[in-house]
Structure 1
């Protein structure tokens, strides 16, 4: 921690000045990758040489390609060596009075820069360069840059020797805790940005996290912050899309020079609709973080997302929900069969959740994969945990074929853990930053989780040879999700790559033509291949002599391609002579980091609402608060109709026993010494902001088809639903486009909607469902919608099963099948609808003319 002394600038707690002056990010965002440079500027304003230690983040899926030191007009390039050898080189140089810099990887996304013998009044620059593959989502490019290593929950009692300068001590569960917990404090340095975006065509550039300044030069866009400098208190998120929403990926990129083997990256975007079918029954467990940090907007949005995801399930599927903080609770003792009754019970249970406690992730994740060892686990969390390796190993050991889909919420989430869980289980991960909707992201990803997929993939090369593939175990093909295979080719040539796998029990084959060039200058491909190869080796669970041999193999490949890993480091030495050569050992200055956005720190609120990322620095003289350990509180909420079981793995233990087993530490403020903050009991160390002001009354909704859809004749059904919601004390409905989200949240487990009025129950449901789909159609939501298409498909399927029994009510059948045709897509589904409509001449004759069909359906809807 540090405190600012009046009139003297930024100081550490012991009165020494902080040498880091600022961070600048420059680079290019191109069609397939980002090339980024992070430049740190140091200035020693003391009268003696010092050593700066700065713990900072980089994307966990990035590949480091360069490290340099610039001082006294000279720029020196670093080299990669085995980690201990690099440290010895650095330490020997510092002891001898030379300048030097060392870059260590602590975690996949956490790095430490040590810059030694910074001379008085001399500026020094350290630059890290990395490459990162671009993420494509629904036709848009999305790029994220983390800006700080946030405080994280460290479980376990302190044990072992400290080897670094972090605020936490090592524990048996987090042995490197002192290397990943930089101090938080008054931060006087900020972040600047100068990024060039060029996809070769006109694009729209936006950011949900920061206000931007854009300069267009043809198809190139230069991106800066609207303010010259912003705080390093949140991830920087950039989205780039074409006005026509099409983003093309280059299918094959290669690198080959001379007679050496070449390296390739082959990318395909599979279209599996109609080619692959999912299992007849799904098994899903939703794991939702309800720790104190989810208080505010995050939990209500997560609740809304869960309600919509539940409606993607089909009757007969099995599901469960686990809510966790310091301990955890489950919706049902075992996964429950999805029916209308259990859906209503789950809605009430989810609505009753509240935020408090710490972030104990291990036990709920174990319970989830043990509950559905061959199913799907959906994790929503905003927590930063220290025992990432322990969680990963335990979860992978407990599952069979379960896939994990994770959502990291906010500015301080354990992204490396979530990426590893996704990559090693065949799932996916998505990060939701301040300014982005949680429910939209979760629903879209959950649709992909249940989407058609091809498993058991093998690649066969014909006419060309592909070797040393990465990843070695091919991940599944998932409908519409980019899939990349990297490898080496000994000789150039033309041929094809055939991917073989299985869609359920049916065989699947996809053939892609390839041309491996004799000469191609794309060295980035070679580094990507080597980095992916090393990731696979690091994930291998080996022991004894094989583990040592694997480490040697990793070091050899990393040094050959100059990559930083957990076994290798970058080091650079500036040899000095004369007066520039220091004597004695420099004193160490540990650089503090900014409090994450949304935290209250030293009396200053860093609100997530600060979308421009403006720096908020406490006034001079603000004193740091002592640390205290959060209390650990267990909670339980009983759903109606299902008894609330004691949390698995903790059912028979007393509160004291649970506290003893989950003892951990977290950097936090003492509420008694910071009266301006309200620190929630059991919040896991997250300062809880004061209650928000009462929201303004919601504007009156426009009258339209919804009033006809659930009007006077159907008032009893709405009254019943309103009463159900009031009893459940439901969280506010998320705000979607018009009333789409509210309407979708009323969908029944069967895929239909409830209605009232004359006729049988089946007639009422068919009419209500048709009117609901017609309203969604007017809002542009069809079966092809990226978020809600799965719910529309489910409704169409339900109507097709329901209408054969409604022969005595032709107008209702015409309305239902006509709307189903309008919202459906694909020849197979429309063919089934047309066949069902054949007896209805007034309908079938209009199915070739959508305008006439729409007029006919609108007329039926107003009867």
Structure 2
């Protein structure tokens, strides 16, 4: 099997091993990655490795070791670094160039130049990143291992992202991963979706621990680590002294502070929802959405999972709101010409259209539908909320984010990255620029659970009107102002501290954060010491510099600004702080590497694990005539990643991809089959039967889900209880009795049902629940229903 960096004979593998060391300090982490190369060819070699990086990362170090000599790279203006790299190669010197893509901040290219035959080289890069807060209050670190091919719209060129290629081969280089965790608060546990060695505590207070990735990891998925601390909501402030060699008054010379703001939401706020809003769902229908959600067991296609999720969303919307659904690929289309008011009729029409959605719209042109949506007039008293679903494979990320930022005042954006390799720059950027919330659905995670959690955020009050009081401290803010925080979100505030008081380690500081949550005015205060943390590695300074650099880069996209002045400021900050930017690159040249290059310099690209099964299928099918017999013939031999399908099932997928029609097994029949298969899920069937107002009707299909007949349901109706009230009570009892583990998915529609029941005459509720439990075989308590 072909793998790694390929020779002309497809044998040699210059990249042998990747070693990752992770140092977690509270809410932030320092990541050291070491890549080992060997040129096994008989000629000089240039290796090009395009790889993913978390979008919030601050790359701050790059070095290379050739034989016994180590060279440390320096940051230079990008074009100057490229010219120096080319000059070094033409002189026969060994050189290394690490640069960020100008299209997307989560893609980097490492060029390893002029390695002589049989020579080895080790390159090391270090980056710093904030850990993201999860729903269970854990902190997540993600090492991206999967980088999907990015779709570049026609005429954009693509840049570095256009070099990303998919490979049907397994990446051969190995990975070792070790994490050291330290925190002021005790560590309760560390978890991962990948196999880990047992957690080892390094002190009796459990504030220091070590954990490693088990051997044999295939590096075919992101490595995610979840760290749990005691007292996760505790407000904290950490001061870091400036670099001794830096000039006082500069960003790196003055102290810097990081404030962690993680507000708690009382139950009274969590239980309240609004009934207004314009909800616009924007669904990726490009060809890549026909890929599987994961590589384990009976995985769904991404588009099928998206259909189920849209069904849940439609059933969970409040009466009186407005909504619309867009699908996009190379072009886009909407269910309605403009957003319509939510009712039983409009919901039913939308549900019917949702069942017809396929991954059949070609490329990934997300910018066009966004621009169209923003041109639509806003509906008074109904704030616009966008829900964007994509596997994140676009090449014009910066243009998309600039469009969202320009319209930030008229909407809120919730974004969802589907599958391994979704662009973190795109997904998190959409949410950050649209004052919303980002979610990533990877591995075997259910999309429905994460999406419904975000809908709850959209329907509930958020922390707004945030004001900070620095109690007389002189400071320069490095991070952008906080506009909105939803339940479960945390903000890290960075600032450069100025003045003599800030240089005194015995002095104290105070900061207060005031905000509004629902009808409540809240104020939090934290007192902190100016004494610096030890052995910090200037983590806070560099993350603060990263925030300021990103803000300036976003400002460059605005009209009427001095782009050259902003670029010069970015380059200055980048070189001063040692943090990479879109305008700088790390360059390292080994001046004493000897003889000039003889013969041609061969370029090799290391394949990054991508959408191998889907792309391999499309490439293979394109060689065939679009004929039923050819598809059927190939279906018998289909075996990619040990996933075998029966002939009819694969034929159905081929037809969906290519739009075959007028065959004995048509696309329309395939759609009917998939709808039938979806109805096998009793939860989805219950959801599909609910009406817009929140009630269920007494139907035979509902009785089938309960495992009884409609006649039996009617026979058990308590006295003076209407059939629709009885059906709705039974549906709630069934959800609480059999699907409590998926409560986050049906909670919103259950709340609608409860609100509807409160408008009806229920009679003896206790008796209704008793009879319902007996009929369905449940033991649900009356209080659990929320009535």
Q: TM-score, length-normalised on structure 2?
A: 0.77
Separation in 2, partners of 1:187, 1:449: 41
CA gap of 1:279–1:369, structure 2 versus 1, over 3 A, is: farther
CA gap of 1:102–1:335, structure 2 versus 1, over 3 A, is: same
SS at match of 1:511: strand
CA gap of 1:754–1:271, structure 2 versus 1, over 3 A, is: farther
Counterpart residue number, 1:405: 414
SS at match of 1:356: coil
Q: Work out which of the residue numbers 255, 260, 269 in structure 2 matches 1:267.
A: 260
CA gap of 1:238–1:155, structure 2 versus 1, over 3 A, is: same
Q: Work out which of the residue numbers 203, 222, 225 in structure 1 matches 2:211.
A: 222
Q: Work out which of the residue numbers 81, 93, 108 in structure 2 matches 1:111.
A: 108
Counterpart residue number, 2:426: 417
Separation in 2, partners of 1:241, 1:748: 41
Does the 8 Å CA contact 1:316/1:338 hold for their aligned counterparts?
yes
Within 5 Å, which residues of 2 pair with 1:24-35? Answer: 24-29=19-24, 31-35=26-30
> 1:136 and 2:128 equivalent?
no
The Cα of 1:367 is off from its aligned counterpart by: 3.1
CA gap of 1:70–1:255, structure 2 versus 1, over 3 A, is: same
Within 5 Å, which residues of 2 pair with 1:76-475? Answer: 76-106=71-101, 107-139=104-136, 140-156=138-154, 171=155, 173-174=156-157, 176=159, 180-182=163-165, 184=167, 189-196=172-179, 198=181, 200-207=186-193, 210=194, 212-218=195-201, 220-227=209-216, 230-231=218-219, 233-240=220-227, 247=232, 251-257=236-242, 260-273=253-266, 274=268, 280-295=275-290, 297=300, 298-358=302-362, 359-371=364-376, 373=378, 374-397=383-406, 400-471=409-480, 473-475=481-483
Does the 8 Å CA contact 1:254/1:516 hold for their aligned counterparts?
yes
Does the 8 Å CA contact 1:31/1:249 hold for their aligned counterparts?
no
SS at match of 1:462: coil
SS at match of 2:55: coil
Q: Work out which of the residue numbers 11, 22, 37 in structure 1 matches 2:32.
A: 37
The Cα of 1:318 is off from its aligned counterpart by: 0.5
Separation in 1, partners of 2:365, 2:458: 25
Separation in 2, partners of 1:75, 1:15: 30
Separation in 1, partners of 2:746, 2:25: 31
Q: 1:298-352 CA distances to partner (integer Å, 9 max, x unpaired)?
A: 1222111112222331100111111223333322222121122322222222122
The Cα of 1:270 is off from its aligned counterpart by: 1.9
SS at match of 2:588: strand
After TM superposition, the structure 1 stretch with the greater mean CA deviation from structure 2, 540-549 or 343-352, is 540-549
The Cα of 1:80 is off from its aligned counterpart by: 1.5
Q: 1:562-595 CA distances to partner (integer Å, 9 max, x unpaired)?
A: 0111111112222316xx4445687142313145
Separation in 1, partners of 2:69, 2:78: 25
Separation in 2, partners of 1:97, 1:727: 64
Counterpart residue number, 1:161: none
Q: 1:613-654 CA distances to partner (integer Å, 9 max, x unpaired)?
A: xxxxxxxxxxxxxxxxx9xxxxxxxxxxxxxxxxxxxxxxxx
Does the 8 Å CA contact 1:301/1:734 hold for their aligned counterparts?
no
Separation in 2, partners of 1:285, 1:558: 38
SS at match of 2:562: helix
Counterpart residue number, 2:532: 519
The Cα of 1:514 is off from its aligned counterpart by: 3.0
Separation in 2, partners of 1:735, 1:366: 38
Separation in 2, partners of 1:315, 1:761: 27
Counterpart residue number, 1:811: 764
The Cα of 1:115 is off from its aligned counterpart by: 1.7
CA gap of 1:532–1:788, structure 2 versus 1, over 3 A, is: farther
CA gap of 1:394–1:512, structure 2 versus 1, over 3 A, is: same
The Cα of 1:268 is off from its aligned counterpart by: 2.0
Q: 1:4-40 CA distances to partner (integer Å, 9 max, x unpaired)?
A: 8xxxx96445989563334333324454223222222
> 1:550 and 2:550 equivalent?
no
The Cα of 1:175 is off from its aligned counterpart by: 5.3
**May I ask how many residue pairs the two structures share in their alignment?**
688
The Cα of 1:64 is off from its aligned counterpart by: 1.0
CA gap of 1:670–1:550, structure 2 versus 1, over 3 A, is: same
Separation in 1, partners of 2:23, 2:312: 38
Separation in 2, partners of 1:585, 1:549: 43
Greater than 6 Å deviation, 4+ residue runs = 673-679, 687-690, 726-729, 759-762, 816-819, 853-859
Q: TM-score, length-normalised on structure 1?
A: 0.71
SS at match of 2:197: strand
Does the 8 Å CA contact 1:138/1:786 hold for their aligned counterparts?
no
Separation in 1, partners of 2:493, 2:176: 32
Counterpart residue number, 1:533: 548
The Cα of 1:124 is off from its aligned counterpart by: 0.3
The Cα of 1:63 is off from its aligned counterpart by: 1.3
Q: 1:102-122 CA distances to partner (integer Å, 9 max, x unpaired)?
A: 111113011111222312222
After TM superposition, the structure 1 stretch with the greater mean CA deviation from structure 2, 123-132 or 190-199, is 190-199
Does the 8 Å CA contact 1:66/1:128 hold for their aligned counterparts?
yes
Q: Work out which of the residue numbers 623, 635, 655 in structure 2 matches 1:672.
A: 623
Q: 1:381-401 CA distances to partner (integer Å, 9 max, x unpaired)?
A: 125122223333344445642
Separation in 2, partners of 1:690, 1:470: 50
Q: Work out which of the residue numbers 748, 755, 760 in structure 2 matches 1:790.
A: 748
Does the 8 Å CA contact 1:174/1:387 hold for their aligned counterparts?
no
Separation in 2, partners of 1:267, 1:389: 28
The Cα of 1:177 is off from its aligned counterpart by: 5.9
The Cα of 1:728 is off from its aligned counterpart by: 10
Separation in 2, partners of 1:744, 1:282: 22
Counterpart residue number, 2:523: 510
Does the 8 Å CA contact 1:289/1:380 hold for their aligned counterparts?
yes
Does the 8 Å CA contact 1:66/1:130 hold for their aligned counterparts?
yes
SS at match of 2:128: strand
The Cα of 1:155 is off from its aligned counterpart by: 2.0
Separation in 1, partners of 2:623, 2:7: 24
Does the 8 Å CA contact 2:166/2:609 hold for their aligned counterparts?
no
Does the 8 Å CA contact 1:24/1:39 hold for their aligned counterparts?
yes
The Cα of 1:136 is off from its aligned counterpart by: 1.7
Q: 1:406-427 CA distances to partner (integer Å, 9 max, x unpaired)?
A: 1111234333222222111101
CA gap of 1:388–1:750, structure 2 versus 1, over 3 A, is: same
Does the 8 Å CA contact 2:44/2:114 hold for their aligned counterparts?
yes
Give ranges in structure 2 of 5+ residues lacking alignment: 293-299, 633-639, 650-670, 699-712, 773-778
CA gap of 1:184–1:751, structure 2 versus 1, over 3 A, is: same
Does the 8 Å CA contact 1:81/1:571 hold for their aligned counterparts?
yes
